[in-house]
């Protein structure tokens, strides 16, 4: 499989990564451990070299799962994890729909890294993100702490998630940022409002999480779709029945383009993201082998300039309904 390069420092990864959160967290009860290990092994066999987790997913259980699954592939894959939440407040029982406290104090970062190293069963974390910007801790202190961890051989590359352009510039001046992870998809295009231009200027890659709109852009949902009681999509305004009904117009557009390309809506959504920049790497999550294969097949789909222009023109006429997060979680986004 071809690779894409994140950042000027040259972190080479597969064009699609695998988001592992849903295997343990947020989308209903945790999935069967052995089945998820088999899925990750299948991903490696198919050429996937980039896996995404975080200490908050569980908390901790997803890192344990990823560490166990990928232990046989040390040196062959890139594992990204994240710090930044205070996990002593019962977050695990509430999931991402709760109101977790932020904590990026230097001592907390160091403690988080030691825990992640143990759970991931590695001597060095490939890519370490600040999960959310902590307004109580200067970003220079965060970047400086990660710089020290890199110098100590405990971390290789530094990333930020959902950070503003100003914050990215300040961090980058202390310790080069390899990649920024943000939500980016055909139904959340905010990165186009200035972030992409800044990343191109600075030589920083973009890792796109929720590239399939938390499953909505696959075309498998409608206004009658219901979720498990533990699924945090129950709390997201964009997944309210009326919003889901209205937003089907976007799925219809993907399906229409897909008919011409012999592709599914999900594959067109991924191919569209891959066409935006050569340094954009989507990380769709899945717990099913057939969805993994469907997603990977999108790499081979070529969207011409005319296709992209047609998609953008049609998408501009569609007003996506519903906020992506409830207000209590929007407060965690750096603006």
- Please give the Cα distance from 176 to 202 (Å, whole number): 9
Marked catalytic residue, from 27, 57, 216, 325:
57
Separation of alpha carbons 67 and 135, rounded Å: 31
* DSSP character at residue 100: P
What does the alpha-carbon distance between residue 306 and residue 190 come to, in Å, rounded to a whole number? 23
274 Cβ contact partners less than 8 Å away, ≥ 6 residues apart: 15, 280, 282, 298, 299
DSSP assignment string, 244-275: HHHTHHHHHHHHHHHHHHT--HHHHHHHHHHT
Bridge-based pairing state of the strands 101-102 and 85-86: antiparallel
Residue with tokens 């407040």: 89
Which residues in 84-124 belong to E strands, given as ranges? 85-86, 101-102
The DSSP element (H or E) to which 81 belongs, if any, is strand 78-83
* 57 among known catalytic residues: yes
Q: How far apart are CA 44 and CA 76, in angstroms?
A: 9
Contact 51, 68 (CB under 8 A): no
State how far the Cα of 62 lies from the Cα of 303, in Å rounded to an integer: 35
Residue 205 CA: distances (Å) to CA of 26, 129, 185, 225, 243: 26, 13, 16, 35, 32
Integer angstrom CA distances of residue 258 from 168, 209, 267, 277, 296: 36, 22, 8, 21, 15
Is residue 254 within 8 Å of 186, Cβ to Cβ? yes
Catalytic annotation, residues: 57
């Amino acid at each position: 499989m071809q690779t894409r390069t994140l950042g000027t420092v040259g972190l080479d990864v597969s064009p699609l990564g695998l988001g592992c959160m849903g295997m343990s967290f947020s989308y209903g009860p945790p999935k069967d451990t052995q089945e998820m290990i088999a899925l990750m092994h299948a991903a490696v066999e198919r050429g996937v070299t980039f896996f995404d987790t975080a200490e908050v997913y569980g908390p901790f259980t997803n890192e344990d799962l990823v560490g166990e699954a990928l232990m046989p592939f040390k040196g062959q894959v890139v594992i990204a994890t994240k710090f930044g939440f205070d996990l002593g407040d019962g977050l695990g029982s509430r999931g991402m729909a709760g109101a977790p406290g932020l904590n990026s104090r230097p001592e907390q970062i160091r403690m988080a890294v030691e825990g992640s190293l143990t759970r991931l069963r590695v001597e060095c974390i490939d890519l370490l993100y600040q999960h959310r910007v902590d307004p109580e801790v200067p970003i220079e202190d965060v970047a400086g702490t990660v710089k020290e961890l890199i110098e100590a051989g405990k971390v290789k590359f530094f990333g930020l998630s959902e950070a503003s352009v100003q914050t990215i510039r300040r961090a980058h001046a202390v310790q080069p940022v390899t990649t920024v992870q943000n939500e980016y998809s055909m139904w959340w295009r905010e990165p186009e409002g200035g972030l992409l231009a800044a990343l191109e200027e600075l030589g920083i890659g973009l890792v796109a999480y929720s590239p399939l709109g938390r499953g909505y852009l696959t075309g498998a949902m409608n206004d009658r779709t219901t979720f498990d009681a533990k699924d945090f999509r129950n709390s997201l305004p964009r997944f309210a029945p009326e919003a889901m009904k209205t937003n089907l117009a976007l799925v219809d557009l993907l399906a229409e383009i897909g008919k011409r390309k012999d592709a599914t809506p999900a594959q067109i959504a991924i191919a569209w993201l891959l066409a935006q920049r050569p340094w954009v790497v989507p990380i769709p999550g899945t717990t099913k082998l057939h969805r993994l294969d469907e997603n990977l097949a999108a790499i081979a789909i070529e969207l011409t300039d005319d296709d992209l222009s047609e998609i953008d023109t049609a998408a501009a006429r569609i007003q996506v309904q519903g906020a992506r997060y409830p207000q209590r979680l929007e407060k965690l986004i750096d603006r």
